[in-house]
Amino acid sequence: MGTTVTLVKESPLPTRKARSAAPAAGKRRGRRENLAGYLFMSPWIAGFLLLTAGPMVASLYFAFTDYNLFNSPKWIGFDNFTKMFDDPRWQKSVEVTAKYVVIGTPLKLLLALGVALLLAQSRRGQAFYRAAFYAPSLIGASVSIAFVWRSIFSDDAVVDRTMALFGVHSGGWVGDPDWILYCLVALAVWQFGAPMVIFLAGLKQVPKELYEAAAMDGAGPFRRFWSITLPMISPVLFFNVLLETIHSFQIFGSAYVVSNASCGPADATLVYTCYLYQQGFKNAQMGFASAMAWMLLLAVALVTAVLFWSQKKWVHYEEDAR
């Protein structure tokens, strides 16, 4: 994920002088440049049309059909959608995903903000710490890390033994339907580096004089955080909440690997996309799976809309102050 974005404003070409000298040639050149531009974009456009837009349209159609990959799709209207609500496993997958999003996202953001606050102060070795805390974000999504996770949370492995020192013997989280989801939450929280970097950038933007003035007026550190830092970084916080929430809804890889491709035990890690995958690619219920995908899109859109609506209440943009 890119963390710094540089926008360069280019001066419009060709210049007015050139245009007045040879208007026809300029127009032609402009068209040519456009053509060159589209040609440069064409691999992306082709990819977008063939690999993204096309399949999306197809899946919208399949969502309203009975389609097992081999037959020709049979139109069944909204049956797939109504079937969903009667399906106990679908309900379970919604429950698991909601739990994961609601527990995991705030924890991750809290940790990211906490560490960002610590790292915002200048000290020796700052660059090293930042890199070290960011590193898990780079490797965390990989399959091999999920494998490592599976083994450190197993019976009698590192986590189990460490907890046993404190008198808690869990017998391993990976095989226990009541615990395994927290293993996934821990994996997500551990990758707090990306939102942390964004928080850090936000913290750097807060004007120093605000803190100085507040300190002069006798505001303690907590008061300064609550009344200055939080409002000043609220746009960044909003951005992080939005991004991480959407991201959490899409969890698949870690659930799939940590549960050894079963999304179990007892469907404890049956996250939404995992059930979608099982229906589509194991049970060949591609119509149902497509309907599920569009349902997820609707849900994420709804949550996003609510977040955008809520920002009026708590996000503070500097323009408002003027």
Partner 1 sequence: MASGNIERRTILKAAGASAAALGLAATTGCGGDSGTSADGTVTIRYSWWGAEERQKRISQSIRLFEKKFPKIKVKTDFQDYVAFWEKFQTQAAGGNPPDVFQNAVGFLRKYDKRGILLDLKSQIDAGNLSTRNFREGVLSVGQVDGKQLGVPVGSNTMALVIDKKIFRKAGVTPAPGWTWDDYFKALKTIHDRTKVPGDTGYFSIMYLYDLYLRQNGKAFFTKDGLGFDKADLTEWWQDGYNRVKAGIITDPKTVAQDRPKSSVTAKHGASEFTWDNFTVRYTAEGDSEYGLAPIPTTDGKNTGQYLASLMLSASARTKHPKEVAQFIDFMVHDPEVGKIMGYDRGILATTDQYAAFKPSDPVAREIAKYEEDTAKAGVLGTITPHPSGADTVEAAFLRIAGDMSLGKYKVADAVKQFFDESEAAFQA
| Closer Cβ to partner 1, 231 or 264, answer by number | 264
For the bound state, the minimum distance from the C-beta of residue 98 to partner 1, rounded and expressed in Å, comes to 18
- Residue 177 or 207 with smaller CB distance to partner 1: 177
Beta-bridge partner residues of 65: 75
CB neighbourhood size of 221 (10 A): 10
Q: Are 138 and 195 in contact (CB under 8 A)?
A: no
Tell me how far, at minimum, the Cβ of 92 lies from partner 1, in Å. Answer: 10
Smallest distance from partner 1 to CB 286, Å: 8
**Spatial distance between the Cα atoms of 200 and 56, rounded to a whole number of angstroms:** 37
33 vs 212 by CB, closer to partner 1 = 33
Least distance from partner 1 to the Cβ atom of residue 282, Å: 6
Question: Where do contacts with partner 1 occur on this chain (CB under 8 A)?
Answer: 13, 25, 29, 32-33, 35-36, 39-40, 42-43, 46-47, 68-70, 88-89, 154-155, 171-172, 174-177, 260-262, 264-267, 281-285
Q: Would the CA dihedral through 162, 165, 166, 172 be positive or negative?
A: positive
Place of tokens 């300029």: 26
Question: From the CB of 71, what's the least distance to partner 1, in Å?
Answer: 8
Of residues 37 and 221, the one with the C-beta less far from partner 1: 37
Q: How far is the CB of 260 from partner 1 (least distance, A)?
A: 5
Closer to partner 1 by Cβ: residue 5 or 24? 24
State in angstroms the smallest separation of the CB of 164 from partner 1: 16
H/E/C letters for each residue in the chain? CCCCCCCCCCCCCCCHHHHHHCHHHHHHHHHHHHHHHHHHHHHHHHHHHHHHHHHHHHHHHHCCEECCCCCCCEECCCHHHHHHHHCHHHHHHHHHHHHHHHHHHHHHHHHHHHHHHHHHCCCCCHHHHHHHHHHHHHHCCCHHHHHHHHHHCCCCCHHHHHHHHCCCCCCCCCCCCCCHHHHHHHHHHHCCHHHHHHHHHHHHHCCHHHHHHHHHCCCCHHHHHHHHHHHHHHHHHHHHHHHHHHHHHCCCHHHHHHCCCCCCCCCCCCCHHHHHHHHHHHCCCHHHHHHHHHHHHHHHHHHHHHHHHHHHHHCCCHHHHC
- Complex with partner 1: residue 53 or 215, whichever CB lies closer: 53
Q: Quick one: 53 or 266, whose CB is closer to partner 1? A: 266
Q: How far is the CB of 31 from partner 1 (least distance, A)?
A: 10
Cβ proximity to partner 1: between 249 and 256 the closer is 256
In angstroms, what is the minimal distance from the CB of 18 to partner 1? 11
When the beta carbons of 100 and 277 are compared against partner 1, the nearer one is: 277
Q: Which amino acid, one-letter code, is at 279?
A: Q
